[in-house]
Amino acid sequence: MYSFLNPNKNTRNSAILFFLLLSFSIGLTNIASGQQWGYVIFKDKGLHDNTFQHNFSAAAIERRFLQNIEWDERDVPVSEEYISLVEAYSDSTFGTSRWLNAAVVRAKENNWNFISKLPCVQEIELLQEYSLLSAEWPVTLSDSSSMPTSETMGAQNQIDLMQPKEFISRELFGKNTIIAVFDAGFTNADKADHLSHLFKNNQIAAKKDFLNKTDDVYSHSIHGTEVLTFLAGKNDSVQFGLATEATYLLARVTPNMGFFRFLNDVQWIQALEWADEKGASLVNSSLSFTNQLYERRDLNGRTCKISIAANTAMDKGILVVNAAGNELQNDWEIIGAPADAERILTVGSVDPKTGYISSFSSVGPTSDGRLKPDVCAPGELLYPEDGEYKRIQGTSFASPLVCGFAACVRQLHPEWNTEKIWSEIRKSGSLFPYFDYAHGFGIPKAKYFFSEEKEKPNAYSVQFSEIDTLNCNNLLTIYRTDGCEIEENYSSPVAFIQFVKATGEVFKYNVSRPLNKILASIPADEFKGCKLRVVYDRHFFEIPIPQQ
């Protein structure tokens, strides 16, 4: 597979990267140089044979065989002949994607016209000029001061909402599952006591720095080490992640500072294709790209190339688990890419003490109105550091918990294909079949996979007789009556409330604690034909709203 930099120019890699960083610092632009970056998308893969299958590991071939996945054109590398034709008109080649059948190149404006007219080229997509973009990922948001070791009890219980003991008691730790982890770096992961078993037992199968083209990933950022902890970390007293016996691929795919849009797109996608070749069946990506790369309207699961690739992974038997992002208190607010992809597990964060959405966790829906996030998990956690604990927060850490959960499910049901695992984890959510755009289907529960009745919520029919439409601001207030008696106290669960149009579209939702007599308010001119859905302690209500 082609590298991001033309393999014929490997000796210039370091110089080019240095030049790119320097260009940012002094504010150079592509316009000034008369050059522009863009995707060149080819019509086909040209002449090829089945020798491309040699690029795939035995684990990758086995994954396809077990899930009855056919080889297709997306498995074939981009044509070397086509790349050579494009390079004749371009200054630099920064990489290719076999799934997108595309190359990313830099060329002068008049040369782009020649490239677009090549017989092998289907279309070109020019990228925006140099910009000071920040490739942000969900990060530690809370006070990270060290906590005393007396917090061990809290660390032991912090993932209990997912019922991990159901897996642990059955010795399900993600064995025989290959998980790829994409992040900004894994500083000192090879020296962390709580990850030492991964190195002792040779559970790190491969690693790659997609920025520097080396296999040294144990630097640049502690973020990836924190993420890996909540996948595989353990010590004598605490199991931090659920997949402690899985095999791992570590990929550094994004820098710690601003960089080009194309670099983030292509490197993430190329890492995913690398993980495919190495045999991964799960990918954890605690990365979220928002306004530094895209506009809100792009978040429809079909526009962002990262999201297109994430959806393609499902076709290849790979489940991508991605953090929703930490934008709730920012202007952006909604999930980032590739969290908008439909056929992945997008994970929001909840407070492990309450099960209620964290104050930072990005929400849905997607720009085309689909449910996201899919599920949620604790994202306000205690992290081991130098014999003590520090508090960290972010959907970055909720995502690996769910990815580890998925590895345990895969070990329990090796006969299930990836789509079945994706579907069943969503169904295991604490709120299913209810959902909202903050919690998705809720927190995955391990008991679901060991219960014959799958813990289906009870259905109740509730009548409402009291309606007040005279509130200020013309709000219709809906009251609970004696038909729905629920004991209320401080420790009782939150109530999840949702308004649904006759078409099934959810257009308003909120959360209430405790569930008092007033359920919700809605503009009086919007309630006609609506139903009110309420979930309280896994009791599911769907109530027609009485007409005036």
pLDDT tens string 41-55: 999 998 887 788 889
Q: What is the pLDDT of residue 155?
A: 81
User: Looking at per-residue confidence, does 435 or 171 come out higher?
Assistant: 171
Q: What is the pLDDT of residue 14?
A: 36
Q: Report the pLDDT averaged over residues 437-456.
A: 83
Residue type, 367: S
Is the same domain home to 320 and 260?
A: yes
pTM above 0.85, yes or no: no
Domain presence at residue 170: yes
pLDDT at 470 over 50: no
β partners of residue 534: 497, 541
Q: How many distinct structural domains can be found in the chain?
A: 3
Q: How far apart are CA 395 and CA 516, in angstroms?
A: 30
Domain presence at residue 72: yes
Residue type, 82: Y
What 3 state SS string does 459-481 have? Answer: EECCCCCCEECCCHHHEEEEECC
Is the same domain home to 164 and 113?
A: no
Question: For residue range 145-154, what is the model confidence (pLDDT) as tens digits?
Answer: 444 556 777 7
pLDDT at 357 over 70: yes
Walk across the sheet containing 467-468 and list its strands. Answer: 467-468, 475-479, 518-523
Q: How far apart are CA 343 and CA 368, in angstroms?
A: 15
Q: Report the pLDDT averaged over residues 258-273.
A: 75
Q: How far apart are CA 520 and CA 506, in angstroms?
A: 15
State whether the Cα torsion 58-213-317-70 is positive or negative: negative
Q: How far apart are CA 118 and CA 87, in angstroms?
A: 12
Question: For residue range 476-491, what is the model confidence (pLDDT) as tens digits?
Answer: 555 444 444 444 444 4
pLDDT at 411 over 70: yes
Q: What single DSSP character describes residue 511?
A: E
The DSSP result for 156-205, as a single string, is HHTTGGG-THHHHTTT-S-TT-EEEEEES--TTGGG-GGGHHHHHTT-EE
Token pair recorded at residue 114: 């020649």
Q: What is the pLDDT of residue 537?
A: 59
Q: How far apart are CA 454 and CA 456, in angstroms?
A: 6
pLDDT at 468 over 60: no
Cβ atoms of residues 466 and 546 within 8 Å: no
Is the same domain home to 184 and 283?
A: yes
Q: How far apart are CA 202 and CA 275, in angstroms?
A: 18
181 Cα distance to chain centroid: 11
Among residues 419, 450, 481, the one where a domain terminates is 450
Is the same domain home to 245 and 266?
A: yes
**Where does residue 250 fall: left (phi above 0), alpha (psi -120 to 50 degrees), or beta otherwise?**
beta
pLDDT classification of 507: cutoffs 50, 70, 90: low
Q: How far apart are CA 287 and CA 283, in angstroms?
A: 12
Q: What is the pLDDT of residue 488?
A: 45
Question: For residue range 173-216, what is the model confidence (pLDDT) as tens digits?
Answer: 999 999 999 999 999 999 999 999 999 999 999 999 998 889 99
Domain presence at residue 261: yes
Domain presence at residue 132: no
Mean pLDDT score of the chain:
80
Is the same domain home to 442 and 468?
A: no
Is the same domain home to 486 and 524?
A: yes
Residue type, 274: W
pLDDT at 464 over 90: no
Q: What is the pLDDT of residue 265?
A: 76
At 465, which CATH number? 2.60.40
Question: Residues 291, 296, 300, CA angle at the centre, nearest 5°?
Answer: 125
Question: For residue range 358-392, what is the model confidence (pLDDT) as tens digits?
Answer: 999 999 888 888 889 999 999 999 899 888 889 99
Is the same domain home to 316 and 225?
A: yes
The residue written with tokens 């909120």 in the block is 510
Among residues 73, 98, 126, the one where a domain terminates is 126
Among residues 450, 481, 513, the one where a domain terminates is 450
Domain presence at residue 138: no
pLDDT at 30 over 60: no
Q: What is the pLDDT of residue 34?
A: 72
Is the same domain home to 161 and 203?
A: yes
Residue 228 makes CB contacts below 8 A (sequence gap 6+) with 181, 186, 189, 195, 241, 248, 250, 400
Question: For residue range 415-431, what is the model confidence (pLDDT) as tens digits?
Answer: 999 999 999 999 999 88
User: Looking at per-residue confidence, does 548 or 310 come out higher?
Assistant: 310
Is the same domain home to 437 and 472?
A: no
Q: How far apart are CA 56 and CA 18, in angstroms?
A: 33
> What percentage of the chain reaches a pLDDT higher than 90?
50
Structural domain boundaries enclosing 26: 7-126
Q: Which SS3 state, helix, strand or coil, does residue 425 take? A: helix
At 250, which CATH number? 3.40.50.200
Domain presence at residue 292: yes
Q: What is the pLDDT of residue 459?
A: 38
Residue type, 546: P
Burial class (CB in 10 A: 0-12, 13-18, 19+), 18: exposed
User: Looking at per-residue confidence, does 438 or 14 come out higher?
Assistant: 438
Q: Report the pLDDT averaged over residues 75-84.
A: 94
pLDDT at 135 over 50: no
Is the same domain home to 308 and 376?
A: yes
The residue written with tokens 């912090």 in the block is 158
Q: Report the pLDDT averaged over residues 105-111.
A: 90
Domain presence at residue 326: yes
The residue written with tokens 């909540």 in the block is 230
Cβ atoms of residues 376 and 440 within 8 Å: yes
Is the same domain home to 161 and 121?
A: no
Q: What is the pLDDT of residue 544?
A: 66
Is the same domain home to 42 and 84?
A: yes
Q: What is the pLDDT of residue 165?
A: 95
Domain presence at residue 245: yes
pLDDT classification of 107: cutoffs 50, 70, 90: very high
pLDDT classification of 293: cutoffs 50, 70, 90: confident
